[in-house]
Amino acid sequence: MPRFLTDHEHRAVSAAADVLIPPLDSPELGAHPGGGALGVADYVDNLLAAFTVDPPLIFAGGPFSGRHGGVASFGEFLALSPNEELAWRTRIEGSRGIPEREFNGPTRGWQTIYREGIAALGPDFCTVGADEQDRRLRAQNELRAVLYDHACEGAYGAPEYGGNPELAGWRVIGADGDVQPRGYTDDEVSGRA
Amino acid sequence: MPESRDCDAVVIGTGPAGATAADVLTSAGWSVIMLEKGRNHLLSLDAPFAGLGHVSNDEIKALRRYFLGPDPFLEPRSYRRDEADGDRLFAGEVNNLPSTVGGGGFHADGKLPRLRAVDFKARSELGPIEGADIVDWPVDYDEMEPYYAEAERLIGVAGEAGANPFAEWRSGPYPMPAGADMFGAILTTEAATRLGYHPYRAPTGVNSVPYDGRPACNNCGFCAHYGCPIEAKGDPIAPLRNALRTGRCEIRPDAYVERVLLDATAKQARGVRYIDIDGNAHEVSARVVVVAGGAWETPRLLLRSEIANSSGLVGRYLMYHFQTFVIGHFPFRLHGHRGRAVTHLHDDHMIVDDASRAFAREHGLPYFRGGLTEHGGGGSPVMEGIYTAPGITHTREMLESNMRDRLWAFTVQGEDLPQATNRIDLDPTVRDVHGFPAGRATYDVHPHEVVASRYYAPQLEAVMRDAGAEFTFAATSPPLDGDRAGTRSASMSRHIMGTCRMGDDPATSVVDRWQRFHDVENMVCTDSSVFPTSTGYGPTLTIVALAIRACRDLAGLPALTSTRPQ
């Protein structure tokens, strides 16, 4: 259930994530399910709605995820300082003319960039062909640039941020992700395999 | 009756420079208050000062969300090449080192080499170079040796004495043996040896065995930029914990020092004024002020305070390392994400010989020196994705993992000559969240760095091909070719030096040989601001060794001595 994005916006972000990180099933390289299936829209929604929960969903906890031993603590997000809250609210919500957010000028927030950008993609964005989706997304440069960074974060970042469901993003590219407290043996560091 | 003060010393900054100062001064019985503008994610400030467990193998938090600070929205910095660029080319993230309890030591991967004797005496032994102000340091290697040895014991350095034929004499072995060799480094060190170079296991401030109550490293690979989740890295948790355990040290995080306060004579500091997490101002009075904010923030604070600058040199002689990256692509996976990020080094490209002198003369220089060459790998999936173009290229590249798992890199930390025009000053309009002017770097390279890079890069590409790379390429930071405007032209180096040069003459230096300010008798700088030259070695061990020396002198402790083995 999306928190900031509407259902339509959530589907549009998934479709746009598939334009930027397209699915591929290649005999020689293997299969990649694409950005949509790797939870990019859920990641983006968590980020845009970060301040609807306390502590906000900005800094995952530590030291261990529990995936390789230790007590799972990534899911216990850390509290922000007042200035960190200022910075992250400004990035997400925009400066909105609030003087303390504009000491170096105004900032357009990601919530605005997504909402306006998705609207400009058109109500039928999810159902048009891939080439047309690519053309429309290229016309929304600001959204495309922000979404690409977020798509990479969501697809290949720790799942506690909302993307990378069941570690699928790491699995398809052969990444281990976090490994503490197990780490690697000396042989795994020095050996060929 | 003596005036009552809050503490003997107030220390500004909690990175390696400040942490070492607090350790030495509290061990001498001094009371110390440490002020850190960043947050505390390192250790509990209550006994037994356990780790907080905030850092983790989390790429989003560490590399994408400024967890260890500084957040460039709150603390922007600006950059330009020279005055012809106007006020700045851009503002945002420039050479950021962590702003957090532990400072730059918290995030570094802990390669901790010593300088060599010639590095302290480059002017007298190698000579001047036009357009740069190369000077001798007012200390030499033999005097520094016992402080290097003490710094290695304090942090806990793992290494292999005798493995580097260019290294100076040592009074004893490393405190720990070297850790596991990375697979890629085994390939490149074998190739380098075949081609006549002299690679060796990197002295590293990461435990290879349990040391000082902290565990051995388990090779997780999340070293640089992350902070160690298991405390296998000694810098700077070891000195901070030592200081706290004396009961004479208080660390105040989220404390932004606004200015250093002088007394009526204007030759003595009486303390500092700082702003706390809620924006309230406080003063701390002290007998001595130790500035340890790093070579960017220290001059920024002094310029803002309008002190210690009768020479006009505060902020000048800003130096980085001119980084040359030689990349090789291998036809198999290297798993460079396992292990300590860099496990081998070689010094050969710092050695001036007949061939390099001939190349230098062809390019109008008497000589040049490159820098320490790191054999490293690694890479992280989010950044691999972001650096890859969107579209089907992304998917193919990520499945093949060309960037993350098949590249190996040499990074040359090339010596950057001191130039008075390269400097930190205050940006005329960009502000930080507290309303104070942002620091601004004005920086451009000297031909020395460019010629050195162009000489050594092809040699390193040959090593990479001999190691099995299918293709190789070289790049530099700052870049030499193509678009040299805007963000691309800034140095990415986190090795920041100079800006409060150490020397005997108050007209040509900012601090004296004991790192006391010529203009302010009871103020000391313990960070890399004091470096007169950059050398080609990472600065941290020398920062710590110098800080031990300066603070022992300050506290009236006897100088350390050591004996050269026969």
What contacts B192, CB < 8 A, 6 or more positions away?
Answer: B198, B199, B346, B375, B463, B467
Q: What's the pLDDT band for B489 if we cut at 50, 70, 90?
A: confident
Cα dihedral B331, B376, A60, B61 sign: negative
Task: Name which of B75, B183, B399 to mutate to probe chain A: the one with the most chain A Cβ atoms within 10 A of its Cβ.
Answer: B399
Contacts of B106 in chain A (CB under 8 A): none
The partner residue sitting opposite A74, judged by closest CB among B58, B337, B396, is B58
SS3 (DSSP) at B363: coil
Q: What's the pLDDT band for B47 if we cut at 50, 70, 90?
A: very high
Instruction: Give the closest-approach CA distance of B378 to chain A in angstroms.
Output: 11
Check CB contact under 8 Å for B333 and A158: no
The pLDDT tens digits for B374-411 are 999 877 999 999 999 999 999 999 999 888 899 999 99
User: Which residue bears the tokens 């995952």?
Assistant: A60
Task: Name which of A28, A152, A188 to mutate to probe chain B: the one with the most chain B Cβ atoms within 10 A of its Cβ.
Answer: A152
Has residue B165 got a pLDDT over 90? yes
ipTM metric: 0.97
Has residue B88 got a pLDDT over 60? yes
The pLDDT tens digits for B276-302 are 999 999 999 999 999 999 999 999 999
The partner residue sitting opposite B61, judged by closest CB among A60, A134, A174, is A60
Architecture of domain B1-81+92-108+113-156+235-318+419-442+497-566: 3-Layer(bba) Sandwich (3.50)
Has residue B486 got a pLDDT over 60? yes
Check CB contact under 8 Å for A32 and B398: yes
Check CB contact under 8 Å for B385 and A83: no
Per-residue pLDDT at B483:
60
Q: Any bridge partners for residue B260, and if so which?
A: B272
- B437-442 and B77-80 strand pairing: parallel
The mean pLDDT value for B344-350 works out to 98
Has residue B103 got a pLDDT over 70? yes
Q: Supply B551's token pair.
A: 């603070």
Label residues B304-317 b or e (16+ Cβ within 10 Å = b). Answer: bbebbbebebbbbb
Report whether B246 contacts B34 (CB < 8 A): no
Contacts of B218 in chain A (CB under 8 A): 180-184
The half-sphere exposure of B104 on its side-chain side, counting CA atoms within 13 A, is 28
Cα three-residue angle A123-A126-A129, rounded to 5 degrees: 115
Angle between helices B16-27 and B540-554 (to 10 degrees): 30
Contacts of B432 in chain A (CB under 8 A): 103
Check CB contact under 8 Å for A62 and B431: no
Question: In this complex, is the C-beta atom of B335 within 8 Å of any C-beta atom belonging to chain A?
Answer: yes
User: Which residue bears the tokens 């929960």?
Assistant: A53
Check CB contact under 8 Å for A103 and B91: no
The mean pLDDT value for B356-360 works out to 98
Q: Supply B340's token pair.
A: 């300590």
SS3 (DSSP) at B121: coil
- The answer for A 81-140 residues in CB contact with B (under 8 A) is 81-84, 86-87, 90-91, 103-104, 107, 134
Check CB contact under 8 Å for A74 and B56: yes
Check CB contact under 8 Å for B229 and A87: no
Could you give the CA distance from residue A41 to residue A163 in angstroms, rounded to a whole number?
Answer: 8
Label residues B223-240 b or e (16+ Cβ within 10 Å = b). Answer: bbbbbbbbbbbbbbbbbb
Report whether B315 contacts B307 (CB < 8 A): no
The mean pLDDT value for B265-282 works out to 96
Q: Any bridge partners for residue B425, and if so which?
A: B440
Has residue B1 got a pLDDT over 50? no
Could you give the CA distance from residue B525 to residue B530 in angstroms, rounded to a whole number?
Answer: 7
Check CB contact under 8 Å for A59 and B61: yes
pTM, full prediction: 0.97
The mean pLDDT value for A70-87 works out to 98
Angle between helices A141-156 and A110-121 (to 10 degrees): 110
Has residue B467 got a pLDDT over 50? yes
Give me chain A's average pLDDT, please. Answer: 97
The mean pLDDT value for B202-227 works out to 95
Check CB contact under 8 Å for A180 and B186: no
Check CB contact under 8 Å for A23 and B398: no
Per-residue pLDDT at A80:
98
Instruction: Give the closest-approach CA distance of B419 to chain A in angstroms.
Output: 31
Has residue B321 got a pLDDT over 80? yes
Contacts of B57 in chain A (CB under 8 A): 65, 177-180
Could you give the CA distance from residue B312 to residue B309 in angstroms, rounded to a whole number?
Answer: 5
The pLDDT tens digits for A137-161 are 999 999 999 999 999 999 999 999 9
Check CB contact under 8 Å for B64 and A153: yes
What contacts B273, CB < 8 A, 6 or more positions away?
Answer: B257, B258, B259, B261, B281, B282, B283
Instruction: List C-alpha distances in Å: B28 to B23, B154, B249, B329.
Output: 9, 16, 12, 53
Per-residue pLDDT at A151:
98
Question: In this complex, is the C-beta atom of B437 within 8 Å of any C-beta atom belonging to chain A?
Answer: no
Check CB contact under 8 Å for A186 and B180: yes
Contacts of B91 in chain A (CB under 8 A): 104
Check CB contact under 8 Å for B229 and A59: no
In sequence order, which ranges of B40-140 are alpha helices (DSSP H)?
59, 103-107, 117-120, 122-126
The mean pLDDT value for B237-251 works out to 98
- The answer for B 261-320 residues in CB contact with A (under 8 A) is 277-278
Check CB contact under 8 Å for A173 and B399: yes
The partner residue sitting opposite A158, judged by closest CB among B60, B337, B399, is B60
CA neighbor of A158 nearest in space, from B31, B146, B222, B427: B222
Check CB contact under 8 Å for B58 and A152: no
Helix (H) / strand (E) containing B405: helix B402-405
What contacts A193, CB < 8 A, 6 or more positions away?
Answer: none
Question: Cis omega (within 30 of 0) on the bond before B72?
Answer: no
Residue B233 DSSP code: B
Check CB contact under 8 Å for A91 and B55: no
- For chain B, what are the domain ranges? 1-81+92-108+113-156+235-318+419-442+497-566
Instruction: Give the closest-approach CA distance of A37 to chain B in angstroms.
Output: 13
Question: Cis omega (within 30 of 0) on the bond before A63?
Answer: yes
The pLDDT tens digits for B495-528 are 999 999 999 999 999 999 999 999 999 999 999 9
Has residue B219 got a pLDDT over 90? yes
- The answer for A 29-88 residues in CB contact with B (under 8 A) is 29-30, 32, 34, 58-65, 73-74, 78, 81-84, 86-87
CA neighbor of B494 nearest in space, from B545, B528, B459, B457: B528
Check CB contact under 8 Å for A103 and B386: no
Q: Which region among A53-62, B16-25, B88-97, B408-417 has the lowest average model confidence (pLDDT)?
A: B88-97
Check CB contact under 8 Å for B229 and A34: no
Report whether B142 contacts B170 (CB < 8 A): no
Assign 3-class secondary structure to B461-528.
Answer: HHHHHHCCCCEEEEEEECCCCCCCCHHHHCCCCCCCECCCCECCCCCCCCECCCCEECCCCCEEECCH
> What phi, psi does B160 have (nearest 5°)?
-130, 95
**A100: closest chain B residue by CA:** B433
Contacts of B333 in chain A (CB under 8 A): 174
> What phi, psi does B85 have (nearest 5°)?
-75, 0
SS3 (DSSP) at B392: helix
The mean pLDDT value for B145-159 works out to 98
Contacts of A162 in chain B (CB under 8 A): none
Has residue B482 got a pLDDT over 90? no
Contacts of B398 in chain A (CB under 8 A): 21, 32, 156, 172-173
Could you give the CA distance from residue B338 to residue A31 in angstroms, rounded to a whole number?
Answer: 25
Check CB contact under 8 Å for B220 and A153: no
* Backbone φ/ψ region at B55: left (φ over 0), alpha (ψ -120 to 50), beta: beta
Per-residue pLDDT at B488:
72
The pLDDT tens digits for B426-461 are 999 999 999 999 999 999 999 999 999 999 999 999
Has residue A180 got a pLDDT over 90? yes
- The answer for A 140-179 residues in CB contact with B (under 8 A) is 144, 148-149, 151-153, 155-158, 161, 169-170, 172-179
Has residue B565 got a pLDDT over 80? yes
Has residue B484 got a pLDDT over 80? no
- B281-291 and B523-525 strand pairing: parallel
Residue B236 DSSP code: T
